[in-house]
Structure 1
Amino acid sequence: MPELPEVETVRRGLIGLAGRRIESIDIQLPRLIKWPTPSEFADLVTGKRILSIDRRGKYLLLQLEGDLALVIHLRMTGRLYLRHAAEPSDAYTRVLFFLDTGDRLVFADTRTLGTLYLMHLEELSHIHGLASMGPEPLSSEFTADYLARALNRRKAKVKSLLLNQEIIGGLGNIYVDESLSLAGIHPERTGESLNREEIERLFAAINHVIDDALSHHGTTIRDYLDSSGREGGHQHHLQVYGRKGEPCQICGSAIQRIEVGGRGTHFCPKCQQ
């Protein structure tokens, strides 16, 4: 699933849409429209100008005229990209937004797990994932003190806690593994077992990993492409994720893979004792 760096890369690639008007829409797979009904969605979005392209966690938010927000969650294989008038659309196109420039904003999704909402700004709290989301890495709200409070007295494993979007927004499997690796913390440690020094290391590691992934335009393992159809580059810089059996780049021990909370988890058995 695209995580914060991938979704932010898509957002940055679509910033030029600000000021464009949606002339019409073609909903090819209506069940991806979660609110309102597909027909109401089409009626409301048609004729609206795009004011800004924002992001919260793993959600894209296109603010439209009329105090409306088009909220898109890419899920596993969703893609949002721009196609010029003469260019063919993706074979997995699900929703097409026709713009006043003649271009098309395309939502494509292989597994059809993505979701689209159109809501008034004051209604966004009805989307549970948005309303309950914790602070994001690199934000002023995300501090070492906040992380310490969030992990304090938690008996759950730290890997699972970091994946909880109500604790930290935008983190997913790849960047949690990478953050724990950089901090030298075993993914099966409990939240309450971490001391202040370890929490400080973990806080710094999370911010570093996310910032580094943003600089490489995200990580492409299988499906992720940015808004121009290009792969990210951070997969060439991963320390542990997807490297089962390969040598740790620090100590040479073989990277191990286990299940933590039902999620595949990669770590170095020596550096993360």
Structure 2
Amino acid sequence: MPRKLSAEELPKPQTNMWDFAAYYMRFMRIQRGLSGEALGRVINVSKAQVSRIESGRNRLDANQAIALDKLWNTGRLFYLLVWYASIGHDPQWFAQHLKIEQKSEVQRIYEANVIPGLLQTPEYADALLRSSIEPNPDRTLADRLQRQDLLLRDSPPHLTILLSQNALDWPVGSPEIMYGQLARLLEEAQRDNVILRVLPRTWAVGAHAGLGGSFKLMSGDGFGEAAYTESPGAGRLVSSPPDVRTYGIRFERISAKALDEGASFKLIQKFMEEMR
């Protein structure tokens, strides 16, 4: 007999549309007397994956929602729930993104304006936070630096990082802070699990797929692949395969215009020399 979900594991339908969809799928399954295994056959997933959807750890996709609507003759209810969830704001997105980040095995990161949080020095991160409207910069700084512990794991994630030149030569804090930050980048780029490339600000590059803003793609055995895009005050977590693929295409297009690792290293060194 399957283990009953605890109250803490159950989705909170009052908090966001994704949790409401998960809650209602579980409600309908139990109401109709279906096992997790039987429902899994309908939406083409395992019993364990059904449990993850019902607990809110995984999300329904559009095809699964359509299958549920056909099974229970809901008048497209699940499809519409997934659609509204995918376009709306979820206050839990950033927290969910952090959990996925810690479980990730591969990350592809594009940063348009600042150094990625995983590679920021304490001084650089503090200068950024003090210049923002962050209500608790000390706490946020501590949390950000703690996130970097995943780089010290025995098996850290593989990182491919594309940095816009804006992130390298926009003054943050002081010349000393920027020099230390760029030195940290070069140090991290020596790791076997890190690829660091720069997108130069030149006429040859011109308009590119990264002008819309920063984003990252994360993948791992436990969750497949997800994308997270940043915006002022809130980010957006994307998990539907078509949308994630779109971010993957954007990343590849930016990558096609970026310098190779050697040229990127030399450009960062050039900026460091100018700060002395």
Structure with bigger helix share is: 2
TM-score over 0.5 (shorter chain): no
* Structure with the greater alpha carbon radius of gyration: 2
**Which has a greater percent of strand?**
1
* TM-score normalised by length of structure 2: 0.29
